[in-house]
Structure 1
Amino acid sequence: MLLPVIMAGGTGSRLWPLSRELYPKQFICLHGQQSMLQETLNRLSGIDTQEPVVICNEDHRFLVAEQLRQINQLSKNIILEPAGRNTAPAIALAALHAIRQGDDPILLVLAADHVIEKKAAFHDAIRKAVSYAKKGSLVTFGIVPAGPETGYGYIQRGERLPGDGVSSPHKVLRFVEKPSLEVAEEYLLSGEYYWNSGMFMFRATRYLQELEKFRPDILQSCQLAVEGINHQGDFINIQAEHFIDCPDESVDYAVMEKTEDAVVVPLDAGWSDVGSWAALWDVNEKDENGNLLKGDTFLHNTQNCYINTDDQLVATVGVNNLVIVNTKDAVLVAEKDQVQDVKRIVEFLKGKCRSEYRRHRETYWPWGRCDLIVRTDRFNVNRITVKPGESLPLQMHYHRTEHWVILSGTAEVTIQDKIQLLTENQSTFIPIGAIHKLDNPGKIPLEMLEIQSGSYLGDDDFIEIN
């Protein structure tokens, strides 16, 4: 039975400002009705698989857990990476963990942020790949190219293997880097090349054998990391110090380009890695003027635009071929054919230590969410939503006071040794240094305003009391 291994890493730079380091594109609804991670898992329905394993950064653990819970796929199946070390080590973690569980499954390695429009064709390619993975091959899925794309790596096919016509699997002749336009056109005309999808299938032990042959240093680091593995709720934690020492390497470089047993299965299923705003415009339905619209918009004499707005009206007059993305704390306006340079904005924001590259104004937590409405040097105003039955931990602050104003629902507030129930239009004050806690004992979400005031308002002015 297949074990889906979903790679849910990523830093969120190419689809800024909607995607951020702490909220990258795989957690956003960009194509379809659910997030890209959820769409990836739902796409597997109809294939006989084990419960999936999701590999993500520790910073994203609560996002992953909540999104898996929403689609009934949460089952103590989230492997946390203390630091990103690319795909070769991540897959090794999944393989080693499965073997420690007493299994040697065939791994189906998928990225959490791809669009695949033709589910039946995707399933057909998986079924073809299984027979080769069972024989010990390391299978990759090559996307039948739709044009001379310069943003993808390519796979050149070699000897044809048993199959039916143009969809027959082939031995992999070589992997090639992203080409120039002229070279990409030559690849397309030859009919011998596929786009490199970054999706793979192989048996767990077979992958580890090849990793040991070509990159024993990566394997050793991962083996040491899983020796100290421990489970905390839905999360699988590994030894941070050993994994941090692991080399950063993709599975392509570490194994697939070196192994003599690589097989490529063609995939023509409406695939895209949605690597830019232009790519997202390509894969979604447009109106009669070629515009893709999300949110509150008014357009006049506007064609071929992508416009996405959170909650403010965006109006355009006499524009063409633009990307306009409006979030609560940033606005992007770009020519659609220059969106690859959005990463330069992220580089600038990082260099200036600005928060907009890393996080949205609204952040998500196990207990609910927090929307930073006003930020100044001396006070912040947050709108906090606490889910029914959830609570903020017992905590204290050294540099700030807090006022809590209840907008709706019921709050059970603990300040020092005093407990009180507050309801709509009631408020309380928390002095500097006071130990306090917030619970929602009700059946509906608790909505409240938090006014923070003090000489220092950094996120690290937070002491959790165990």
Structure 2
Amino acid sequence: MSALPLDDFYCVIPAGGVGSRLWPLSRADAPKFLHDLTGSGSTLLRATWDRLAPLAGAQRVMVVTGRAHRAAVEAQIPALADHNVVLESEPRDSTAAIGLAAAILERREPGVIIGSFAADHVIGNEPLFRAAVIEAVTAARAGYITTIGITPTEPAIGFGYIHVGDPLGIDGAKSARKVLSFVEKPNLKTATKYLASGDYLWNASMFIAKASVLLEEIGKSEPELLAGLLELAEAWDDPATRGPVVDRIWPGIKKVAIDYSVAEPAAAADKLAVIPGHFSWDDIGDFASLAKLNSGGRATDLAILGEHARVLSDASSGIVVSQTGRVISLIGIKNVVVVDTPDALLVTTSENAQRVKSVVEALRLTGSTEVL
């Protein structure tokens, strides 16, 4: 295994998104990456930092987040260098966040390899994670845009899938395989076929590449977006010019996910590699996955989160998240989801956990934004 930290590598943590399927716990002013959702004592963001800093070095980790979250992010990560905090005035999706980081870092350090890792994922078996990243960096040195796909454990319908092709034969990255295509979230029948075939991995949205190669791919599919990112990067490290340039350009930056702007076109052009990841991974997309994560995967258990939670349970299962200290009593309820906050209460079931997002949309449409 390569010696750590890797001297040509920079980690980027996009810390954005509200996590609307985790409402009312996750909100605009306190998104899910700022919560401890595993009972570990660390927020998801802090756990991500702790996982990545050994790979690149503490001075070579950049966080891209919203202006409103700067204080919280810096409080979580005191070692985060000031020049490695990139603030978005408003969200513009993953291509803008990762592309801006790539453009800034390429100007600072031509030829640098960057790796993008979401702030709100839960990863187990970190030695296996580090080994996968090291192989991905090796593949990136060979010119590939590389992703790390997760070995599926069930026919999940909440994730995208990566169709895996032949080995690429890269020295130092023996696991690297060609990516044939990215596949959108399938139905259960299709996901079951994918699992049985052994030719598909879950898409965990981890991308490792030379910054220059990533920017080149963005330019092929979104030339205007790339032009804006390059102009922003040119002004970024000059405090005197950055503000006016951001105010002029950022509102016009197109919203597009990096899967569409980079990954899918790169796969079609045989420029995308994947390293199979054999570590545990969860993006905690809803309360059902949060319940499963905190109950060890046992559907008969009741997971309880909250420092001062007071829960009485009789023959019940699911999850209770309490931020109030109010007594919550459950009797004979299976797969329940209860989220109790000072100004909003959610009660649903694990089966309907994905529908929480529709509640958020309804609240927004009715003007009840004070609870969002």
Fold equivalence (TM over 0.5):
yes
Residues 1:257 and 2:264 aligned together: yes
Give the Å deviation of 1:290: 0.7
Residues 1:320 and 2:334 aligned together: yes
Residue equivalent to 2:163:
156
Structure 1 residues 229 and 56: alpha-carbon distance in aligned structure 2, compared to 1, 3 A threshold: same
Residue equivalent to 1:374:
none
Structure 1 residues 105 and 127: alpha-carbon distance in aligned structure 2, compared to 1, 3 A threshold: same
The alignment's TM-score, normalised by the length of structure 1, stands at 0.72
Distance of 1:199 and 1:349 partners within structure 2 = 32
Give the Å deviation of 1:61: 2.0
Give the Å deviation of 1:289: 5.2
Question: 1:108 aligns to what SS in structure 2?
Answer: strand
Residues 1:5 and 2:33 aligned together: no
Superposition misfits of 4+ residues, deviation over 6 angstroms: none
Question: 2:232 aligns to what SS in structure 1?
Answer: helix
Which is higher, the Rg of structure 1 or of structure 2?
1
Distance of 1:289 and 1:180 partners within structure 2 = 26
Give the Å deviation of 1:237: 9.0
Tell me the C-alpha RMSD between the 2 structures: 2.3
Residue equivalent to 2:304:
293
Per-residue CA deviation, residues 27-67 of structure 1 (Å, 9 max, x unaligned), is 11112221111110111244243421101122222222222
Question: 1:18 aligns to what SS in structure 2?
Answer: coil
Residue equivalent to 1:59:
68
Residue equivalent to 1:387:
none
Distance of 1:283 and 1:172 partners within structure 2 = 29
Structure 1 residues 256 and 237: alpha-carbon distance in aligned structure 2, compared to 1, 3 A threshold: farther
Residues 1:308 and 2:316 aligned together: no
Structure 1 residues 257 and 302: alpha-carbon distance in aligned structure 2, compared to 1, 3 A threshold: same
Whether contact under 8 Å (2:122, 2:283) holds in the other structure is yes
Distance of 1:45 and 1:77 partners within structure 2 = 13
Whether contact under 8 Å (1:15, 1:342) holds in the other structure is yes
Distance of 1:14 and 1:296 partners within structure 2 = 21
Question: 2:157 aligns to what SS in structure 1?
Answer: coil
The alignment's TM-score, normalised by the length of structure 2, stands at 0.89
Residue equivalent to 1:329:
343
Distance of 1:14 and 1:139 partners within structure 2 = 29
Instruction: Give runs of aligned pairs for residues 102-251 of structure 1, distance below 5 A.
Output: 102-162=109-169, 168-229=175-236, 239-251=246-258
Residue equivalent to 1:24:
31
Residue equivalent to 2:292:
282
Alignment-mate amino acid for residue 47 of structure 2: E
Give the Å deviation of 1:241: 2.2
Give the Å deviation of 1:214: 2.6
Residues 1:40 and 2:48 aligned together: yes
Give the Å deviation of 1:106: 0.8
Distance of 1:289 and 1:176 partners within structure 2 = 33
Distance of 1:98 and 1:236 partners within structure 2 = 18
Q: 1:92 aligns with which of 94, 99, 107?
A: 99
Alignment-mate amino acid for residue 266 of structure 1: P
Whichever structure has more helix as a proportion of its residues is 2
Distance of 2:193 and 2:124 partners within structure 1 = 27
- 5+ residue gaps, structure 2: 1-7
Give the Å deviation of 1:116: 0.3
Structure 1 residues 78 and 237: alpha-carbon distance in aligned structure 2, compared to 1, 3 A threshold: farther
Whichever structure has more strand as a proportion of its residues is 1
Whether contact under 8 Å (2:157, 2:186) holds in the other structure is yes
Whether contact under 8 Å (1:230, 1:238) holds in the other structure is no
Per-residue CA deviation, residues 394-437 of structure 1 (Å, 9 max, x unaligned), is xxxxxxxxxxxxxxxxxxxxxxxxxxxxxxxxxxxxxxxxxxxx
Which structure has more RCO (C-alpha within 8 Å, separation ≥ 6)? 2
Alignment-mate amino acid for residue 353 of structure 2: V
Distance of 1:289 and 1:145 partners within structure 2 = 23
Distance of 1:205 and 1:180 partners within structure 2 = 36
Whether contact under 8 Å (1:65, 1:74) holds in the other structure is no
Distance of 2:141 and 2:245 partners within structure 1 = 29
Structure 1 residues 80 and 351: alpha-carbon distance in aligned structure 2, compared to 1, 3 A threshold: same
Structure 1 residues 262 and 141: alpha-carbon distance in aligned structure 2, compared to 1, 3 A threshold: same
